[in-house]
Structure 1
């Protein structure tokens, strides 16, 4: 497994742990603002993970230009569209 994939998986596991923590907070009827703060942190984590995946996709396209040019163009356009939609 590449370093990037390992890093992404570690971040996903961390976000999963945060989500479990939020579920516990709700079960314990913690303050609404605290729950929202934690949800916002999870959303930021997921946004970073998405950015890493898009960046890795673009990097792959740029580093391997000898592959199918039509497919490369489609992948790059898809990655750019994902960034723009954010």
Structure 2
């Protein structure tokens, strides 16, 4: 799979958010602020996972169709991957 620049930007943004949370902890910020930022990171990670699975699924379905394979199996594997990511 080719990981595009947009996805890499998302992950770098998450990396910055994690550093920001660590700084907030060092500054003894209120727990509500820290939890809110961690929730934002988790949401960003979930979106990144969904994007990766969706793009991969799209390519896998095309490949299976070209090879006369079972696209239902590919979809089931993608769903299982999303379930495991939670």
TM class by shorter-chain length? Answer: 0.7 to 0.9
Any idea what the Cα deviations from partners look like across 1:39-63, whole Å, max 9, x if unmatched? Answer: 0000000000000011011110222
Match for residue 66 of structure 1? 66
Match for residue 20 of structure 2? 21
The two structures have a TM-score, normalised by structure 2, of 0.80
The two structures have a TM-score, normalised by structure 1, of 0.80
| 2:44 counterpart of 1:45 | yes
Q: Which segments of 5 or more consecutive residues in structure 1 lack a partner in the other structure? A: none
Q: Which segments of 5 or more consecutive residues in structure 2 lack a partner in the other structure? A: none
- What root-mean-square deviation, in Å, do the aligned CA atoms of Structure 1 and Structure 2 show? 2.4
Count of residues paired in the alignment:
84
